[in-house]
Chain A
């Protein structure tokens, strides 16, 4: 029967029609949220697709892209510079993230002492390096760490200790980069931990104290477990930061040619291959390796900290 089939069609159509009308009525709301989706599509999603295509091709910026299959990835696995950069980056992450959390937590606990005089001033001073450009921080550190004229070696000489080749020796440049990162970044994490500590209900501490818990026990059994989400947050963001590390070693050390190339990181290698070397295919493959590493390490930490119980 034609009549009933028309009404059936109308029945099916009506919801979608109504949906479209509703969408049209809210066009202004979509307009409001559209900048993100437009800019993301243009400047992130499209480059990501391009990167994927590039990573399977050989291209130096002109002419046609030549499909090479997995060659770039195969070359990447064999590239000793990338292996070295990967090693350095992982060492940096393994040192910087835990020591950074330890330092920031120590500062935060001290700054959280009740009625501490000068808390605001300490907070401001500790935070100042964070707002300073890495380039400037690196300039200051270079002068501090100079072999002959630097403050630190001058001090070591004064107290009769052997001086240290901070920016050139074996092992030392890594330590120098670590010191720079901590000096610059610890204030920010301190504030985040301090915020977490201030969010803990003082009554919990009071109850623990009445039960006879020592400050040490209180810290390990109460404070630390309660800070778990913040520790997770700081360590994930910290790891992402380390895997992104570029300007610190770029400015501070002789990353290109120093002995052992101690401070070349994955992002520096990416820059070297992709921008300076215009080997776009290789660089795109390396970008995916780094990206996979970022996601992998984030998930690993998520799992580790979820299972960590006190």
Chain B
């Protein structure tokens, strides 16, 4: 046995140093990657544990990895006493889901038309649309806000829904996806079968587009759920606040101290819905980014 093993190893002899080096390199890589995994995860841990701490447990000279004197569950009821936080999270979900449904519908519809339909001016309009992506948002931020005032849309969801429903980038993405994944023959067959144009979109194109739609959908959902600047502009009533805005209330000011235990409890609650969505679509999302489909 031993001889056999030795004999087996012998031809690889010169490569042993190389093999060892490779193993060492691999171990160092793992050490490096794991260190950073801890750096990326640890703050989430402190947020979670911090939400079960009292102020005096949180503010100790050497930070506590586990609260001295056990966990404390009073932050969550306290949070709901001071803010309509359930409503705030629902607001975030409403903003994100309605915006995303609109984005998916309008982008896939336009993407289908740009990819598969032939009509005068199609390519010019497509290039025109792409060109608008160069336009920076900052230049229009103030008049956009003033427009919302004029439309009496402040403290409603409309400013975070309607203007964002047909992003050029999403249409571009969907066009590429339709062009790559739906053969013309499929659509020709549908036409022969007497399918209307909308029926073609609804019954033939949409089902095939589900992978592309889910990637666009989750990216859009995450961005909308986490939006801060535009929500800050349009919401001034606490019951209309989205979760990030509500959390920012506990930030304190020149005269009041920030209240971390409240913010941690709220952060945990606000993160949960997004984590559920993320883990449900994680494979599709990560594959979508890896394949270069989503770059934005």
Binding site for B on A (CB under 8 A): 19, 22-23, 26, 28-30, 32-33, 35-40, 42-44, 46-48, 50-51, 54, 61, 107, 110-111, 113, 116-118, 121-129, 131-137, 139-144, 148-151, 154, 157-158, 183, 187-188, 191-192, 194-196, 198-199, 233, 237, 240, 243-244, 246-247, 250-251, 257, 266-267, 270-271, 274-275, 280, 283-284, 287-288, 290-291, 294-295, 298
Contact = CB atoms under 8 A, between A and B. Distances in A.
Contact of B40 (A29, A187, A280): A187
A292 B200 CA distance: 43
Nearest to A256: B254
A36 B248 contact: no
Contact of A195 (B32, B197, B225, B292): B292
B139 A22 contact: no
Interface of B: 26, 29-30, 32-33, 36-37, 39-41, 43-44, 46-47, 50, 58-63, 106, 109-110, 112-114, 117, 119-120, 122, 125, 129, 132, 134-147, 162-163, 165-166, 168, 171, 197-198, 201, 222, 225-226, 228-229, 233, 243-245, 247-248, 251, 254, 258, 260, 263-264, 267, 270-271, 274-275, 278, 282, 286, 289-292, 295-296
B142 A270 contact: yes
A287 B142 contact: yes
A23 B119 contact: yes
Nearest to A248: B228
19 contacts: A32-B110, A35-B110, A39-B165, A39-B166, A40-B129, A47-B143, A54-B142, A122-B37, A131-B226, A133-B225, A136-B267, A139-B267, A140-B46, A148-B59, A154-B63, A187-B40, A195-B290, A199-B292, A267-B141
Nearest to A266: B138
Which one of A157, A237, A244 has the highest number of Cβ atoms from chain B below 10 Å of its Cβ? Answer: A244
A272 to B, nearest CB: 12
B100 to A, nearest CB: 14
B46 A143 contact: yes
Contacts of B47: 136, 139-140
Nearest to B43: A140
A51 B140 contact: yes
A134 B140 CA distance: 23
Given A134-B226, A198-B290, A275-B142, A124 B163 contact: no
B119 A280 contact: no
Contacts of B248: 135, 251
Given A122-B33, A247-B228, A129 B40 contact: yes
A60 to B, nearest CB: 11
A40 B136 CA distance: 13
A279 B102 CA distance: 34
A50 B146 contact: yes
A244 B36 CA distance: 27
A46 B148 CA distance: 12
* Nearest 9 A/B pairs, CB to CB: A291-B139, A26-B119, A47-B143, A43-B163, A291-B136, A32-B113, A135-B244, A195-B290, A50-B143
B139 A288 contact: yes
Interface of A is mostly: helix
B162 A39 contact: yes
B132 A195 contact: no
Contacts of B228: 133-135, 246-247, 250-251
A188 B46 CA distance: 23
Nearest to B38: A125
Contacts of B135: 44, 48, 291
A17 to B, nearest CB: 13
B119 A158 contact: no
A240 B138 CA distance: 11
Contact of A149 (B58, B113, B226): B58
Given A37-B125, A284-B142, 17 more contacts: A28-B197, A36-B110, A38-B166, A46-B143, A116-B26, A118-B33, A129-B43, A131-B278, A136-B267, A149-B63, A151-B63, A240-B136, A270-B138, A270-B142, A290-B139, A291-B135, A295-B134
A126 B36 contact: yes
